[in-house]
Amino acid sequence: MSEEVLHVTRDGRVATVTLNRPASKNALNPALVAALAHELTKLGDDAGVGAIVLTGAGDAFCSGADLKAALMDPSAMGDIEARLERFHDIIRAVVGAPQPVLAAVDGPAVGFGCDLALACDLRVGTERAYFQEKFVRIGLVPDGGGSLWLPQMIGVGRALELMLLGEPVEGRRALELGLVNKLVAPELLMPTTLELARRIAAGPPIANTGIKRSVRASLTAVALALGHEKEAQLRCLHSQDFLEGTMAWMQKREPVFSGN
């Protein structure tokens, strides 16, 4: 299954991990979540890897959790806390990897897909890339560390604006805000990202690891943020507002939230 939903390739000391569900814009179903956490953890433990590139197949980085599949699974809500932990395993693997992780973002990075891109150490985007903390549109909260990453990157006011309104941030504005390090044409995305990854991987591994860990300061901050997000998300997932939000999304109408 992991071979179908996730591709991992190696070029010298650079490993490329490609989410491979292009028909769903690389939405995260249970198989992809498990494969991604496993492969990122394994690459992090590999001393032969100097940098990791994370990207998506087709014209999308990641559209977030596969909500359609989850809504059709009668068991989905029964183990929702465990499912959230499996998503968080991905973020912990990205942040905890000693090697720098670079996101190559084309098209949408939405919901958890946005948080996943923001969790990476560097981001290269295309002119058609966009980042969207869309959770609030269906009565949810960011649950991949977005409440930590965004304030650090763009300040509290702008971070709250993006999370409270759930509006997309297009490529040019993402560059202005500092959400991406480089902005390139779609055809230059992988060549540019891989060249950057090769330069990093050719550097001193001990120093690279030290820089990443020093800048990240402490995994405690990540753990606290993920814990707060999980607590809030569980409340949201059991609310009538989430039901209304998902029904409105499926029916392509504006939701009417009640606070219940």
Examine the residue annotation and report whether 143 is marked as an active-site residue of this protein.
yes
Q: CA nearest 102: which of 5, 14, 214?
A: 14
| Whole-number Å distance between alpha carbons of 103 and 124 | 6
Pairing of strands 14-19, 51-56: parallel
Examine the residue annotation and report whether 7 is marked as an active-site residue of this protein.
no
Question: What are residue 17's phi and psi, to 5 degrees?
Answer: -110, 120
Evaluated on CA atoms 188, 193, 194, 200, the torsion sign reads positive
Q: CA nearest 25: which of 150, 167, 130, 127?
A: 130
The one catalytic residue among 66, 106, 121, 143: 143
Distance from CA of residue 56 to its chain's centroid?
Answer: 11
Residue 102's Cβ-side half-sphere holds a number of Cα atoms within 13 Å equal to 26
The one catalytic residue among 88, 106, 115, 121: 88
**184 forms bridges with which residues in the sheet?**
126
Known catalytic residues are 88, 143
